[in-house]
Amino acid sequence: MSAENWRMCPNCKNKIKENKKRLIAQAQELKNDPDQYNALIDEATDPPELEETLGEYYYTGSKDNEVKFNYSCQCERCGFKFEYEKKIVMFEKGK
Ligand SMILES: [Zn+2]
């Protein structure tokens, strides 16, 4: 199934941010080693580019008396998944 839409993944975005923090913290401990310090700072300030790896899928439809809304997404890079579904009964039977 091909995605309806592609977005940037919130999990990948968060991982890049956390990695940057970790690299800066490591660099602080290596201040007396300028080569390693600079290498870590360079890596922290030039993170991997965030691409649109999050495929989004939508479904909306009705059957008989019920309407269904479904949204799901999955990241091709980190495997992050999310799904939300809501079913609504259009009218109460027997009234
Ligand atoms: Zn991801």
Neighbours of ion ligand 1 (CB under 5 A): 9, 11-12, 75, 77-78, 80
What's the CA-to-centroid distance between 79 and ligand 1, angstroms?
Answer: 6
Q: How far, in Å, from the CA of 38 to the mean position of ligand 1?
A: 28
Q: Give distance in angstroms: CA of 87 to centre of ligand 1.
A: 28
pLDDT at 1 over 80: no
- Tell me the per-residue pLDDT of 28-47, one tens digit each, with 9 for 90 and over: 999 899 999 999 999 999 98
Q: List CB contacts of 42: < 8 A, sequence separation 6 or more.
A: none
Q: Structure pTM?
A: 0.77
Percent of the chain with pLDDT strictly greater than 70: 98
Q: Which helix (H) or strand (E) holds 70?
A: strand 66-75
**HSE-up of residue 74 (Cα within 13 Å, Cβ side):** 6
Give the C-alpha separation, 78 to 38, whole Å.
28
- The predicted-structure confidence for 73-87, as pLDDT tens digits, reads as follows 999 999 999 999 999
Residue where the block lists tokens 């690299």: 23
pLDDT band at 95 (very low <50, low <70, confident <90, very high): low
